[in-house]
Amino acid sequence: MDRHIDEETYASLLKELERFKEMAEELHRKHEEKLWAAPIAVPLRLPQALAGLTKDELTQIRQNLRIKNISTLRKPELVTKLTEVIPHKAKDIFRLFDLDRYELVKRIVDGGGFAFVPRPNIRRVEYLRSRGIAFSGSVDGRSVLAVPEEIAEEFRRVNDKECRRLVRRNTEWVRLTHGMLYYYGVVGSTDLFRLLRKYFGEEADTAELFRVLYESLDYYEEIEMIGTSYAHADVWDPQRVIDEHRARPDVEYYPFTKNQLLRAGESGFVDRNAAHKEFVAFLAHNFEISPEKADSIAQECVYAANAGERLSDIVRKLLDEFEMESMDMLQALLDQLTRLINNTRQWFLKGYTPAELYEREKEFLRPLPAKGADVIDLRTGRKIGRNDPCPCGSGKKFKKCCGR
């Protein structure tokens, strides 16, 4: 096909994608405005809060709280039944909270049942609405979150020492899970629960752990359920990560410390190790860009490696971004990028870096008996040419890596 036509098609697709993106952002904006636009009376009573919802929204509350035998009720009867049942169900939801949800609801309750707050993430507002816990609206043109008096009373009743212990425990469960998925990409539920027990001991009940994580999925945007596996939201192709993990049955998930995972589980965490910092400094110094821009490019390179892009493709993207003044500069960029990728903890490698796995896997390579002799990859049985990619996973040619 004519390259010129390809470029035109590519540009057209990009334009169309941008249009769809703008449409999605506009729909999101309108939905968010709707959540805050309706006037709300404070202090708020539960019947009034529920009456302001649609039948579909009431049905969602019923389903989330697992309230049975009321699906055929009309809206007025459904509001009456939910008003009766939600406060009893709320105490179970409170015991599944982590610290973020607990502190948000506590702040509202302590403020008399409502709080003028900077608008939280829309997903978090919808989580609270969809369980009948808190409702959004406006008072005198100001955005407000309100907890109905019936729910506030139940929160005060259960907010004891045991409830706060559960909140601390749930917080660690959720953050450890986020941290593991930051590094591993995707983990099956059996392995995930096994790894969590390693940090908590056998007292972690599987059913309770599942409920805590399931509730957190609706509140946060970092985790998704893919079949029976948990996946980080940034993973583009979860099945490919699963397949790569299965291809390494002899490699256990990298043994992070509990503190390492808790840090990685914090919102916005980026693992800026020594290689990452060196790459950022190299870009900022040699291409006259800000450290923030260089850091963003480094993160894109790390993500590309995690997504399984070839080193050559990552290099091509960098060459589109920067103009090389000399072959020496290009070689220096390649060296820095290779060091970054080799020292990046990768989803496909179960949290190991390529450099760490090289030490484990080099036993599969026969030693080079003499210069020019054939080298065989024992995993595939194929001869490795000096210009072939090195089987250690470094991304370099064999002659520039293990074949030296």
Contact 177, 230 (CB under 8 A): yes
The DSSP result for 243-296, as a single string, is HHHHT-TT-PPP---HHHHHHHTSTT-----HHHHHHHHHHHHHHT--HHHHHH
Mean pLDDT of 47-64: 95
Q: According to the model, what pLDDT value does residue 35 have? A: 77
Which contiguous run of DSSP H or E holds residue 60? helix 55-64
Task: Show the tokens assigned to 295.
Answer: 């850091």
Mean pLDDT of 188-196: 94
pLDDT value at 4 more than 50: no
Which CA distances in Å does 149 have to 8, 33, 99, 110, 211? Answer: 60, 25, 22, 12, 26
pLDDT value at 3 more than 50: no
Task: Show the tokens assigned to 182.
Answer: 């930051």
Q: According to the model, what pLDDT value does residue 202 have? A: 64
Cβ-in-10-Å burial (0-12, 13-18, 19+) of 231 comes to buried
Mean pLDDT value across the chain? 87
Which CA distances in Å does 57 have to 77, 325, 381? Answer: 14, 60, 59
Contact 183, 351 (CB under 8 A): yes
For residue 230, list its beta bridge partners: 187, 225
For the CA atoms of 51, 52, 58, 61, the dihedral, rounded to the nearest 10 degrees, stands at -110
Identity of the amino acid at 343:
N
Share of the chain above pLDDT 70, in %: 85
Contact 348, 251 (CB under 8 A): no
The strand ranges marked E within 122-196 are 135-139, 142-146, 186-188
Q: DSSP 3-state assignment of 186?
A: strand
Q: What does the pLDDT look like over 359-397, one tens digit per residue?
A: 776 654 444 444 444 444 434 545 566 677 765 556 666
pLDDT value at 280 more than 60: yes
Residue 253 has a CB neighbour count (10 Å cut-off) of: 19
Spatial neighbors of 275 by CB under 8 A, at least 6 apart, are: 339, 340, 342, 343, 344
Identity of the amino acid at 192:
L
pLDDT value at 1 more than 90: no
pLDDT value at 106 more than 80: yes
Contact 286, 329 (CB under 8 A): yes
Omega within 30 of 0 (cis) for the link into 43: yes
Q: According to the model, what pLDDT value does residue 374 have? A: 46
Mean pLDDT of 126-154: 94
Query: For 127-140, b where at least 16 C-beta lie within 10 A, e where not — what string?
Result: bbbbbbbbbbbeee
pLDDT band at 14; cut points 50, 70, 90: low
What would the CATH number be for the domain defined by 168-264? 1.10.10
Cβ-in-10-Å burial (0-12, 13-18, 19+) of 398 comes to buried
* 7 or 54, higher pLDDT: 54
pLDDT value at 404 more than 50: yes
pLDDT band at 34; cut points 50, 70, 90: confident
pLDDT value at 220 more than 50: yes
Q: According to the model, what pLDDT value does residue 263 have? A: 97
Which CA distances in Å does 65 have to 69, 344, 394? Answer: 12, 42, 50
Mean pLDDT of 33-49: 89
Mean pLDDT of 197-205: 79
Contact 18, 11 (CB under 8 A): no
Mean pLDDT of 196-200: 88
pLDDT value at 134 more than 60: yes
The DSSP result for 197-209, as a single string, is HHHH-TT--HHHH
